[in-house]
Amino acid sequence: MTVTLFSPVEIGATSLKHRVVMAPLTRSRSVQPGDVPGEMMKEYYGQRASDGGLIISEATTIAVSGKGWYGAPGLYTDEQAEGWKGVVEAVHAKGGKMFSQLWHTGRASHVETTGGITPVSASAGTFEGGIVSTSTGWKPPSPARALEVSEIPQLLNDYRRAAERAMAAGFDGVELHGANGYLIDQFLQDGSNRRTDEYGGSIPNRARLLLEVMEVLGSVWGKGRIAVRIGPGGTYNGMSDSNVNALFDYVTEQLNRFELAYLHVIEPRVRGNTVINEGQGAIASERLKKIFNGKIVAAGGFEPKTAEETVEAGIADLVAFGRNFVANPDLVRRIRERLPLNPYDRDTFYTFDAKGYIDYPFYDAANRAGA
């Protein structure tokens, strides 16, 4: 029997009716001050929820010290958790499932976003070409200092508390953001990790922090309710590694012990929200599928046709859509019924109001308007 995008699938402890996933998409619309999910976010996610489909929340900050994007929501206060509860309820009301993506930006930050706290990373310094969203506009990141080994227990506790708040908010699970040049990725890749202690040097040492965080998340959520996003070969936020395949093969093999809900793989053909190798296939997912024992969610530059081909070929089990979900609140229906897609407006991806957020038309409304 051929597996398609619309075949049901089990991801750990969660049952889904199809394999079209809404990717985590930073959109900057939380209520300020406080980084609290409000009514606009509730409407946005509710619009995009589908019966039996998975939504992964936008990257959600675990602590003030980990903030790196103005307007991004958090999960480090009870008020934020209460705001997320309304969002999750809206998704569940339409039969959808939702995981919270937990985020620490590390060196991809600015003192304006952290309330004056110096950003931390695997190693001290900054990186070329980076920009950070602050309350006064886009700015180069502030110089970061190396995270001390003595500070890691507090970091792990920040992840624990965020995971607990995600559970209290009603999420179906949590995903660790381990990609796109943020803190976990900064420890993984040797272009940013120049440490000489037990968190640097060898691949097992550089993977140590990621695995310790996964232990913490598993202690809160149990088996089948945790996931992680990785970006093999990703260069966003100044990332690089001298042996990408060896690093991520090792990480993937180690992740097998956690009985994850899924492994979320960003294809190296994308950098941030931009596709840089249009014709390149799902090469990272195909490689890691041979190592990982569970379900793989592939992400990065997919269109309906390429997503269908990827699932049918067994390269990945599910496919996450980003830009097309931004512009099409009813994307699942449009793919299923092969309806035309709304174009997305990149200029409104990271603005702060309803335009380009909750005003994209559903297919029927667009059809009536054009009739």
What is the set of active-site residues? Answer: 182
Ranges of H-type helices in 151-231: 152-169, 183-188, 203-221
Q: Which residues pair with 229 in a beta bridge?
A: 177, 264
What is the radius of gyration, based on Cα positions, of the chain? 19
Distance CA 240, CA 158 (A): 27
Which positions ≥6 away from 5 have C-beta within 8 Å?
Answer: 18, 19, 20, 304, 307, 308, 311, 319, 335
Q: Can you read off the two tokens belonging to residue 269?
A: 């053909």
Q: Can you read off the two tokens belonging to residue 338?
A: 């092969």
Per DSSP, which regions of the chain are E strands? 9-11, 14-16, 20-22, 54-56, 60-61, 97-103, 120-121, 132-134, 137-139, 145-146, 173-177, 226-230, 262-266, 270-271, 274-275, 296-299, 318-321
Apex 104 CA angle, 102 and 105, nearest 5: 130
Per DSSP, which regions of 240-299 are E strands? 262-266, 270-271, 274-275, 296-299
Q: Are strands 226-230 and 20-22 parallel, antiparallel or unpaired?
A: unpaired
Q: Are strands 132-134 and 137-139 parallel, antiparallel or unpaired?
A: antiparallel
